[in-house]
DNA sequence: TAATTACTATAAATTTTATTTATCATTTAT
DNA sequence: ATAAATGATAAATAAAATTTATAGTAATTA
C-alpha cells in the first residue's frame, strides 16, 4: 500500500469515474486501473463496484476511503510540521470567499497579506457557501471566508468580524421617514433580495422571520449583485438590505437613503472557516491576523444580534 | 514521501543506527541511507543529526517521527478495517505476558483460544512490565497481559480478573497460628520477595506500605520464581505471598501453609492492555472474551482491594 | 439493431524508482 | 596506531510505476 494508491482511490471515489480522476491526478487512466487493482488485491477486497454506472464505492470501500483521507491528511501534515518549525509561511493556499464578501473584503486585505507573506501563493475562488462546504469536504480548499455559524462537525470557525445589516430605503418607500429602522418594521414582501444561493439572502429571510418561499406568492425582483438591487430600489421597486461594508462605495446621493437599525443591530458573522484537520494552520493564523486587524478599523463596535446564514 | 520511507525513519529512530535498522527492516543499509536522504531533501530538513554518535534525532526529526508513527498506524488500520468488515479474525498477533501470570494463565486459555481462532498466529513473549511498555511504545506488541493500573496515556487497559494475594506461612513462622491473616500483620522484613523487575514484588512492597528499598538494610533472599520462594519458605527463611492462581499446583502438604487474607482481600488487577491506536482490536476483543470467560470459573468473587503494581 | 459513445481493463514497452553490491571516508574503540 | 564500526556514495541491477496502444463492454443514439 502506498500513499499514491490511496490518493488515486480518493480521486476515483470523488469523481466516480476513472478517466476524470486520472486527469485530475495528472496520470493516465490505466495507471489508476492498475494501481487500484493492486491495492484491492493486497487487501483482498473490492473498493469499487464497477458494475454500477457511474461507478460506486462498496460498503467496505467507503470505510477505506474515510481512512485513506485520514492518512493522506496526516501525510500532508508532515510538510506542515516542517514549515512550522522553520517559521516558513508559504506554499499554495486555496481560499474560498462568498460573493457578498469578496468585492468589499478582498481589496482591503489582499495587498497587505501578500506583502507580509510573499511566499504564500493564494488561489482565491469566489464560491457560495454550499460549494465551499463541498470543496472543503473533498479537500480542495484550505480555508474559506463565509458567513457563520454553519455548525458543521468537520469545519472549524473563527470569527473575523460582525457586519451590520443596513437598510437602503428609497424616498418613495413607507419607511423613508423613519430615521432608524427596526426589525419589526420589515416586510419580506417589499425587500429586494439577492438571487437564490447567496447566504446573505437567507440571512435576510431569517431576519424577517419568514420561511424560505413564504413570500413567493407575490412577485419578487431578484438579482446577483447589490449594485443592481440598489438601482432597482432607486427605481422605486422596494427597499433592500446591504451588508455594512457595501455601503462604503455608494454615491453621496444614495447614502442619504441608508437607514441604520436600532441596537441590537442585526448583523452577519463573517468567519474564516477551515477543516478540523487544521492543515496549513500557520497560514490560516496569518490570514486571520491580517484580516481581523484590517477590519477592526473599518467597523465600529456595537451591540449586535447575529443572524444565521442558513435557512432550513 | 512514501509509507516505506516513513517506516525506515521509524526504524532508524528506534535503533539509533542505520545498520541495525536495515537488518530489522530486511533491506541493506544503503537503502536506508538513500531513502531517508531523499525524504530529507524533499522536506528540506534534516531528520537525523549524523554528527552525534550514536545518531540522534533533530528537534524537528522528533516531531516527524511522531507524525510518521501516526501515519504508519493509520495505514496499518486499513487492513484492520477490511478484516473487521469481513469478520476475519486472523494474522500475526504479538502478545506480551508478565512472568508472574504466564505459567498459570497461559495453559488455561491458550488451547481454547487457538481452537476458536485458528487463523490468529500468536507470538507470545514473556516480558516484565517495563519491557512491555517499551515494546508497545515502539509498536512491537499488539497487546499484553499485565498487572494494572499503569496509568499510561498511550495505553488502554481492560481488566480480565482480580487475583487475591495469598500468604504462604511455614509452621515455624509467628503468623502460622492465625487462621486468616491481615495486612497489618505483615512485616516486609520477613517476607521473601521475587527479584527486582517483577511487578508482583512491587505490589507486595506497596501492600506492606514500605517504600522501595526501606527494607534493604536487613539481609533478604530473593528469587525469580514462586517455586523457589516456597521452598525457601519451607526451609524456615520466612513467609511469602503468592498470587491466588499460583496456589493451585502446590502439593497437598504445602497447601496447609496457605493463609488467606481477611476481606477486603488484597489483590492484583490483571488486565489486557493495548495501545490507544486500537489496531487489531478485533483480536484484542476475542482474547478478552476467551480469557475472562475462562478465569471467571477459576476465581470466586470476593471483596477485593486492588494493590498498585508500581512503586515510585 | 447497428453504430457510436463512454467507459474500464489488459498487454507490452518504457521510464522511473528502489534496492543491492562494492567501496570509500570517518569516527570510535582498543 | 590499528582495527572495527558506521554511514555515504557510485554503479549495476531489480522492481515498480507509468504510458501507449488496444481490446472489451456496457449504455446511448441514429
- Of A32, A31, A60, residue with least CA distance to A44: A60
Strand stretches in A244-308, DSSP E: 258-259, 265-275, 304-306
What pLDDT, on the 0 to 100 scale, is given for residue B312?
66
What pLDDT, on the 0 to 100 scale, is given for residue B17?
95
Inform me whether the C-beta atom of residue A62 falls under 8 Å from chain B C-beta atoms: no
| Cα–Cα distances in angstroms (integers) from residue B45 to residues A71, A256, B27, in the given order | 22, 60, 24
Per-residue pLDDT for B53 more than 90? no
Per-residue pLDDT for A88 more than 50? yes
Contact predicate A290/A113, CB 8 Å = yes
Cβ of residue A54 lies below 7 Å from strand D: no
Residue with smallest Cα–C1' gap to C18: B31
In the three-class reduction of DSSP (H, G, I as helix; E, B as strand; rest coil), residue A270 is classed as strand
Whole-angstrom Cα distance, residue B33 to residue B25?
A: 13
Of the pLDDT bands very low, low, confident and very high (cuts 50, 70, 90), residue B255 is very high
Give the nearest chain B residue to A69 (CA atoms): B74
The C-alpha angle B268, B270, B276, rounded to 5 degrees, equals: 130
CB-nearest to A3 from B2, B45, B63 is: B2
* Of A64-73, A190-199, A249-258, B142-151, minimum mean pLDDT range: A190-199
- Of B85, B204, B80, B200, residue with least CA distance to B142: B80
What pLDDT, on the 0 to 100 scale, is given for residue A217?
45
Residue % of chain A over a pLDDT of 90? 71
Residue % of chain B over a pLDDT of 70? 96
| Cα–Cα distances in angstroms (integers) from residue A285 to residues A85, A89, A270, A281, B27, in the given order | 15, 10, 16, 6, 42
pLDDT digits (tens, 9 = 90+) for B135-163: 999 999 999 999 999 999 999 999 999 99
| Shortest alpha-carbon distance between residue B2 and chain A (Å) | 6
What pLDDT, on the 0 to 100 scale, is given for residue B222?
75
As a residue count, chain A comes to 312
Residues of B 29-68 whose CB lies less than 7 Å from any atom of strand C? 29-31, 34-35, 38, 53
Average pLDDT over every residue of A251-259: 92
Of the pLDDT bands very low, low, confident and very high (cuts 50, 70, 90), residue A163 is very high
* Of A22-36, A193-207, B39-53, B280-294, minimum mean pLDDT range: A193-207
Contact predicate A232/A254, CB 8 Å = no
pLDDT digits (tens, 9 = 90+) for A4-54: 999 999 999 999 999 999 999 999 999 999 999 999 999 999 999 999 888
Q: Does the model's pTM come out above 0.95? A: no
Contact predicate B96/B132, CB 8 Å = yes
pLDDT digits (tens, 9 = 90+) for B211-225: 555 555 455 667 889
| Shortest alpha-carbon distance between residue B111 and chain A (Å) | 29
**B27 CA to C20 C1' distance (Å):** 9
Cβ of residue A8 lies below 7 Å from strand C: no
- Residue A69 corresponds to which cell in the numbers above? 483521507
Q: How many CB atoms lie within 10 A of CB A81?
A: 16
Contact predicate A138/A90, CB 8 Å = no
Average predicted confidence (pLDDT) for chain B: 92
Of the pLDDT bands very low, low, confident and very high (cuts 50, 70, 90), residue A244 is very high
**C1'-nearest nucleotide to the CA of A28:** D19
- In chain B, what residues touch A67 (CB-CB under 8 Å)? 74, 77-78, 81
Inform me whether the C-beta atom of residue A41 falls under 8 Å from chain B C-beta atoms: no
pLDDT digits (tens, 9 = 90+) for A189-234: 888 888 888 888 888 888 777 655 555 545 566 778 899 999 989 9
- In chain A, what residues touch B59 (CB-CB under 8 Å)? 85
**A3 CA to D16 C1' distance (Å):** 14
Per-residue pLDDT for A94 more than 50? yes
In the three-class reduction of DSSP (H, G, I as helix; E, B as strand; rest coil), residue A56 is classed as strand
Average pLDDT over every residue of B285-304: 92
- For chain B, the first-to-last Cα distance in angstroms comes to 43
What pLDDT, on the 0 to 100 scale, is given for residue B217?
45
Cβ of residue A27 lies below 7 Å from strand D: yes
Amino acid at each position: 500500500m502506498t500513499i499514491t494508491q490511496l490518493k488515486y482511490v480518493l480521486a476515483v471515489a470523488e469523481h466516480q469515474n476513472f478517466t476524470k480522476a486520472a486527469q485530475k491526478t495528472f496520470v493516465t487512466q490505466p495507471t489508476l486501473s492498475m494501481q487500484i487493482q493492486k491495492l484491492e488485491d493486497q487487501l483482498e477486497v473490492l473498493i469499487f463496484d464497477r458494475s454500477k454506472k457511474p461507478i460506486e464505492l462498496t460498503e467496505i470501500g467507503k470505510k477505506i476511503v474515510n481512512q485513506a483521507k485520514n492518512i493522506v491528511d496526516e501525510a500532508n501534515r508532515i510538510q506542515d510540521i516542517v514549515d512550522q518549525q522553520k517559521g516558513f509561511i508559504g506554499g499554495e493556499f486555496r481560499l474560498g470567499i462568498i460573493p457578498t464578501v469578496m468585492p468589499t473584503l478582498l481589496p482591503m486585505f489582499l495587498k497587505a497579506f501578500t506583502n507580509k507573506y510573499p511566499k504564500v501563493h493564494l488561489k482565491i475562488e469566489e464560491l457560495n457557501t454550499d460549494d465551499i462546504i463541498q470543496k472543503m469536504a473533498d479537500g480542495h480548499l484550505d480555508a474559506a471566508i463565509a458567513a457563520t455559524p454553519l455548525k458543521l462537525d468537520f469545519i472549524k470557525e473563527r470569527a473575523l468580524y460582525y457586519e451590520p445589516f443596513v437598510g437602503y430605503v428609497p424616498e418613495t418607500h413607507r419607511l423613508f421617514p423613519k430615521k432608524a429602522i427596526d426589525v419589526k418594521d420589515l416586510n419580506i414582501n417589499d425587500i429586494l433580495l439577492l438571487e437564490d444561493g447567496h447566504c446573505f439572502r437567507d440571512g435576510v429571510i431569517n431576519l424577517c422571520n419568514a420561511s424560505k418561499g413564504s413570500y413567493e406568492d407575490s412577485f419578487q425582483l431578484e438579482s446577483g449583485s447589490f449594485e443592481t438591487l440598489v438601482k432597482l430600489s432607486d427605481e422605486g421597486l422596494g427597499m433592500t438590505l446591504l451588508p455594512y461594508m457595501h455601503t462604503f462605495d455608494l454615491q453621496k446621493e444614495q447614502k442619504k437613503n441608508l437607514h441604520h437599525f436600532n441596537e441590537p443591530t442585526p448583523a452577519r458573522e463573517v468567519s474564516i472557516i477551515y477543516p478540523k484537520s487544521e492543515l496549513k494552520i500557520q497560514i490560516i493564523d496569518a490570514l486571520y491576523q491580517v484580516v481581523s486587524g484590517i477590519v477592526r478599523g473599518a467597523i465600529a463596535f456595537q451591540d449586535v444580534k447575529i443572524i444565521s446564514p442558513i435557512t432550513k
